[in-house]
Amino acid sequence: MAAQTLRTAGLVLALSAALVACGRGGDGDQPPERGDVAVARVDGRTVWTSDVKREAVAQGLIGEGEPLDPSSDLFRRVLDEVVDQKLLAAEALKRKLDKDPVAQRRLAAARDRILGDMLVEDVVADAVTENNIRGLYEEQQKLAKRSEEIRARQIVLATAADAEAVKKLLAAGASFEALAMERSRDAATRFNGGDLGYFTTDVMPEAYDTALKDAKVGQIVGPFAVETGFALVKVEDRRLEQPITLEAARPQIVRFLTYDRIRDLLEKLRGKAKIETLVKPQEGAPQAPPPADAPKAKGTPS
């Protein structure tokens, strides 16, 4: 549903832009962007590579800045849609639909949205730079608290007696991994030798936290009761929690910088403007929540 809505919005904006362009009397033959290539002409009006890419982005078919091969099937499909948009816009002008008052208001709204989007893109481009991304990442790494991680393996048995029997086999030199694969009843870990990977104890059930709190590397702890039986756990490593990499943090940082800059821009614009709201909200009506990716407080990405 969201993708369809986005695509519909993109088509409306594209048609509106096409109507405005038609009203100016043509698109001209000069490339609108450096290196742009003409890919079609519709009644003498040129369609450029950038027109097709912009439509593909509007439909969510590619991301902003991603390449789109002119020889690809996707490019041809979107090109056909751009051609259709120009034909529809031209026919609408012939029928003088652009003179209708409702159409004028819709065109004006589309123009406002396009210009607003262009301003946002311009402002965000200044904010979301590699230096700003790296700077915020390094700042957050300095403030981040790193917990201790444990890497461990486990064998889960049905009863305490079964667990004690396996513990004796381990003490006699049996392989922990082999016994985990052979006897553990924990389906999530038995087939990889009981490997739990690295974890912090706060994400594990309390029984693990208690048992592993003071365990040394190489030590086998247990058996202790867990939800599915009795566990034997071997501690294989302890280390400080590894920091998130820049590339993993990049999308969140970009969102934060984007929202932060747009919020500052809107606060300044609203501070200068005279805004009168002529409708009153209903009493007790819930307020719209902020976007999920929007930071709650300036200075820390959430």
Instruction: State mean pLDDT over 45-52.
Output: 91
Instruction: State mean pLDDT over 115-119.
Output: 87
pLDDT beyond 90 at 32? no
Higher per-residue pLDDT: 230 or 10: 230
The average confidence (pLDDT) of the chain is 81
Residue 291 binned pLDDT confidence (cut-offs 50, 70, 90)? low
Distance CA 99, CA 92 (A): 10
**Percent of the chain scored above 70 by pLDDT?**
84
pLDDT of residue 301: 47
Residue 285 binned pLDDT confidence (cut-offs 50, 70, 90)? low
pLDDT of residue 184: 92
The CA–CA distances, whole Å, from 85 to 22, 69, 281 equal 11, 21, 39
pLDDT beyond 60 at 24? no
Bridging pattern class, strands 220-226 and 38-42: unpaired
Domains defined along the chain, listed by start: 2-103 (no CATH), 148-240 (3.10.50.40)
Residue 246 binned pLDDT confidence (cut-offs 50, 70, 90)? confident
Eight-state DSSP code of residue 149: E
Instruction: State mean pLDDT over 113-118.
Output: 87
Give yes or no for a contact between 70 and 49, defined as CB atoms under 8 angstroms apart: yes
The CA–CA distances, whole Å, from 182 to 156, 178, 202 equal 11, 6, 29
Q: Residue 297's beta-bridge partner residues? A: none
Instruction: State mean pLDDT over 29-46.
Output: 87
Instruction: State mean pLDDT over 269-285.
Output: 80
Residue 164 binned pLDDT confidence (cut-offs 50, 70, 90)? very high
pLDDT of residue 165: 92
Instruction: State mean pLDDT over 80-86.
Output: 93
**Interior angle at CA 80, CA 97 and CA 5, nearest 5:** 65
**Percent of the chain scored above 90 by pLDDT?**
31
Burial of 277 (0-12, 13-18, 19+ CB in 10 A): exposed
Window from 12-26, 47-61, 139-153, 177-191 with minimum mean pLDDT: 12-26
pLDDT of residue 286: 64
pLDDT of residue 232: 92
Instruction: State mean pLDDT over 281-300.
Output: 55
pLDDT beyond 70 at 81? yes
**Helix (H) or strand (E) segment spanning residue 230:** strand 229-240
Higher per-residue pLDDT: 141 or 54: 54
